[in-house]
Amino acid sequence: MAMVSGRRSTLNPDAPLFIPAAVRQVEDFSPEWWQLVTTSTWYPDYWISQQQQGADGFYDNGENENGGGHIDVADLLPESFDFDDMEDFFDTDAAEFDQGFDGRMYYQAPSEFGFGKNGEMVKKSSGNRSPRSIVEPAKYAEKPAKWGNQRVAAAPRNIHQPR
């Protein structure tokens, strides 16, 4: 029970929301849904919170990953790798072009020291590239959600405690 101005109230502030049955049956993005979004003062917030609940699982996983030491590593890696990545990408294109153009060039690659080195770099970049390609979308997806949460969390604090 919550204390309000010293008065004991039988109302529970943690009670679950009551959503009318008709509203619960509304399909997302249907005409009825749009009517609710545009005419109801509480429905847009309710709908967004439902979406966030669905997204929370993904965000939590992301947060756990970032929560560890990965944040620093993730921040550092892209900068250092971008230059190398571009270079490797260029070399990769060149290699593919050579292979397509002339089989001999491909056959001679192992014997040539410089090209062999490039070949190795290509392999490394390929290995490195795939994990990054997986990680980057997740990173971009996480940022907006995180920022949104921060904003929501920050606003009440600012109001409550101006600095």
Size of the site for another protein (CB under 8 A): 27
Which listed range, 5-13, 52-60, 92-100, 101-109, lies at the site for another protein (CB under 8 A)? 5-13
Output phi, psi for 23, to 5 deg: -75, -35
Q: Which is nearer to another protein, 4 or 94 (CB)?
A: 4
**Torsion-angle region of 104 (φ positive above 0: left; ψ -120 to 50: alpha; else: beta):** alpha
Torsion angle, CA of 18/22/23/26, rounded to 10 degrees? 150
Q: What does the block give as tokens for 159?
A: 């109001």
- Distance, in Å, from the CA atom of 91 to the CA atom of 76, rounded to the nearest integer, reads 24
**Which parts of 95-154 interact with another protein (CB under 8 A)?**
153
Residue 29 Cβ, how far from another protein at the closest point, in Å? 21
73 near another protein, rule: CB under 8 A: no
Q: Which is nearer to another protein, 4 or 55 (CB)?
A: 4
From 10, 25, 38, 111, residue interacting with another protein (rule: CB under 8 A)? 10
- Distance, in Å, from the CA atom of 100 to the CA atom of 118, rounded to the nearest integer, reads 17
**Which parts of 27-66 interact with another protein (CB under 8 A)?**
40-42, 45-46
